[in-house]
Chains A and B, each alone.
Chain A
């Protein structure tokens, strides 16, 4: 073993390359958290005391972020594995239509509903929740099978299924929102709170986030997700059933869409056809801002949490400051550009050989 002595120039070079790669990773992780903290600090200073920086606003920001956070958790898995789902907004809408229709139809007759009487509420809610999750899961499985079986890139495949799914939801409802959601579902769940303290959507988002974090960071499933995005062929040769794994990821994404649909119907008492068109891109933006690589193999739920909070914080701050809240979109776009740029620098630092 004479190598170490005979290659003095190589070892330090490799070390520097590694330090650069890891340095870039830490930098972007910390940068994005600092950015969020900076935003919160700035809004706290710029707004009247007790408005932005208050418990009630904190709650409303989390409530706003909760649905995006759930979708972003699923998207984190997909992007790390080298997948992509642009259909999640459409699947959420379709699932919401199912939830609202099933619940409205089963809870009681139209006459009873007009009197706010819902004799079959429990059955109706159970069926609607089960139906929403199942339908979301079903569309997810379809996306997964398309991604695995056909050679259509997921970008195109899920763009197409998204169009189909949203189209079907619109045909089904004549493009109208579905209104007849039982009131108690909204008051008890969508606007309700666990122990009268934490709103249910926030509780659900927290649970989904925690489970995602554990699954990704601690389990074999998580490790295989990284491996697939890093080198699909290597994962396959290591005996990982990559097809099955990918279908599971898309199916999970679909089920999360169903969950978000349930929350959405609960919060707003209606299944809205138009309000989720941007969800897919918003989730991808949040995830990439949070440091997950568009090129696969890299990412963390902790970053995704930060990435999903940024739009809600911006929106809340702008509304309170009486700035047009549309500036939120502008700001998120800028942050996204920076995040992708950092990602590319990271990849280049890693692969420079």
Chain B
């Protein structure tokens, strides 16, 4: 049921008792979640279980009614996505939030463009050369499939777009990277490429990743631990080696519910 860990320093991110209500719907009913440094943590659950809401709470996009978030032992209260970003949390949303007419480097640096040195920088001039070089270095370090740094992102394949969005999160995140169904729209090869990117974020950058997915093979392939939400409650957290697909599906759908329904 639970992780049982008690040392707060052992976790990069600790979520305690988070509640969020939308009118009559209780999307989150007191959720606890611990994310360890450098782990890929999969978040599973049926439609409407509250996964996206939990991610939005951690991203600062939704303010919870109750509960707390601790990062590296410090308590945070996010009132805007900016707050979460400042605390080191970066999110790859399902819609990616890329600017399709801009090249990858401008997308990686969007809102955080490097300034030219001196007076020009103070006047708002962007150091495009530095931006392009840093973007190239970063994408190469992730072994990314994005090759043409001059091409518009809108003209790229779905996998390449996803790679740009993930790379942006990895570039700026220092506490946690979150991804909401990053492989939902991708083919087999591109999915594998994104999963590889996730592993690289963990292994090369040492960052924890919180991954929402409906795809169990993906989860078994990339996750270190897994948490299942059902109807706004956490029903399971376990190392991936200790669960089976059947067990996860039962946790997601709720064996009780099934029995009750039939």
Q: How far is the CB of B219 from chain A (nearest CB, A)?
A: 20
How many residues of A sit at the interface, in one of the four size bands?
Answer: 35 or more
CB nearest to A352 among chain B residues: B155
B99 near A234 (CB under 8 angstroms)? yes
Q: Report the Cα distance A92→B102, complex, angstroms.
A: 33
A18 near B82 (CB under 8 angstroms)? no
Q: Does chain B have a CB within 8 A of A229? A: yes
Q: Report the Cα distance A234→B111, complex, angstroms.
A: 10
Q: Report the Cα distance A221→B196, complex, angstroms.
A: 35
A239 near B106 (CB under 8 angstroms)? no
Q: Which of A1, A14, A235 contacts B155 (CB 8 A)?
A: A14
- A21 partner residues in chain B, CB cutoff 8 A: 152, 154-155
Q: How far is the CB of A173 from chain B (nearest CB, A)?
A: 40
Q: Does chain A have a CB within 8 A of B70? A: no
Q: Which of A7, A218, A235 contacts B110 (CB 8 A)?
A: A235
Give the residue among A11, A235, A238 with the most B Cβ atoms within 10 A.
A238
B196 near A238 (CB under 8 angstroms)? no
Q: Does chain B have a CB within 8 A of A297? A: yes
Q: Report the Cα distance A150→B85, complex, angstroms.
A: 29
Question: Which one of B118-126, B207-215, B248-256 is at the A interface?
Answer: B118-126
What 0/1 pattern do residues 3 to 46 of A give for CB contact below 8 A with B? 11011001101100110011000000000000000000000000
Q: How far is the CB of A13 from chain B (nearest CB, A)?
A: 8
Q: Interface of chain A, helix or strand or loop or mixed? A: helix
Q: Which of B96, B110, B125 contacts A227 (CB 8 A)?
A: B110
Q: Report the Cα distance A13→B145, complex, angstroms.
A: 14
Q: Which of B99, B126, B192 contacts A235 (CB 8 A)?
A: B99
A233 near B95 (CB under 8 angstroms)? yes
CB nearest to A219 among chain B residues: B124
What 0/1 pattern do residues 264 to 297 of A give for CB contact below 8 A with B? 0000000000000000000000000000010001
CB nearest to A218 among chain B residues: B125
A298 near B189 (CB under 8 angstroms)? no
- B124 partner residues in chain A, CB cutoff 8 A: 219-221
Q: How many residues of B contact A (CB 8 A)?
A: 42
B190 near A3 (CB under 8 angstroms)? yes
- A237 partner residues in chain B, CB cutoff 8 A: 81, 93, 97
Q: Report the Cα distance A13→B158, complex, angstroms.
A: 12
- A231 partner residues in chain B, CB cutoff 8 A: 97-100
Q: Which of B160, B188, B192 contacts A14 (CB 8 A)?
A: B160
Q: How far is the CB of A317 from chain B (nearest CB, A)?
A: 35
A10 near B154 (CB under 8 angstroms)? no
Q: How far is the CB of A229 from chain B (nearest CB, A)?
A: 7
Known contacts A3-B145, A239-B111; is-contact A18 B196 (Cβ 8 Å)? no
- B151 partner residues in chain A, CB cutoff 8 A: 18, 22
Q: How far is the CB of A8 from chain B (nearest CB, A)?
A: 10
What 0/1 pattern do residues 107 to 144 of B give for CB contact below 8 A with A? 00011110100000001111010000000000000010
- A22 partner residues in chain B, CB cutoff 8 A: 151-152, 155
Q: Report the Cα distance A224→B111, complex, angstroms.
A: 8
A230 near B155 (CB under 8 angstroms)? no
Q: Report the Cα distance A21→B85, complex, angstroms.
A: 34
Q: How far is the CB of A21 from chain B (nearest CB, A)?
A: 5
Which B65-106 residues have a C-beta within 8 angstroms of A?
Answer: 81-82, 85, 93, 95-102, 106
Q: Report the Cα distance A24→B255, complex, angstroms.
A: 57
Q: How far is the CB of B250 from chain A (nearest CB, A)?
A: 33
A226 near B189 (CB under 8 angstroms)? no
Query: A14-B157, A350-B154 are known contacts; what are 19 more A-B pairs with Cβ within 8 Å?
Result: A1-B143, A2-B192, A3-B190, A6-B189, A13-B157, A17-B155, A21-B155, A22-B155, A219-B124, A220-B124, A221-B124, A227-B106, A230-B102, A231-B98, A234-B98, A235-B110, A238-B97, A238-B111, A293-B101
Chain A positions near chain B (C-beta within 8 angstroms): 1-4, 6-7, 10-11, 13-14, 17-18, 21-22, 218-221, 223-224, 226-227, 229-231, 233-235, 237-240, 293, 297-298, 350-351, 353
**7 pairs across A/B with beta carbons < 8 Å?**
A10-B157, A18-B151, A21-B152, A22-B152, A219-B126, A234-B110, A239-B111
